[in-house]
Amino acid sequence: LDVSLAIEKVLHKEFRDPGLAPAPLLEHLVAAGCLGRKTGRGFREYARR
């Protein structure tokens, strides 16, 4: 999710389009350390292997 957030930030800065602003939920998840498969948590929890 951190990669998605970084991409959204670059697109928003480059095109100055409010519709490309990073989603607040995504910012919250990344700030909380929920990075998706990297951490096993994100929009969902991933099973550890």
User: What pLDDT, on a 0 to 100 scale, did the predictor assign at position 4?
Assistant: 96
Number of neighbours of residue 1 by Cβ within 10 angstroms: 19
User: What pLDDT, on a 0 to 100 scale, did the predictor assign at position 47?
Assistant: 85
- Alpha-carbon distance values, 31 to 14, 16, 20, 28 (Å): 23, 23, 19, 5
Could you report the per-residue pLDDT of 2-35, keeping only the tens digit for each?
Answer: 999 999 999 999 999 999 999 999 999 999 999 9
- The 3-state secondary structure of the chain reads CHHHHHHHHHHHHHHCCHHHCCCHHHHHHHHCCCCECCCCECCCECCCC
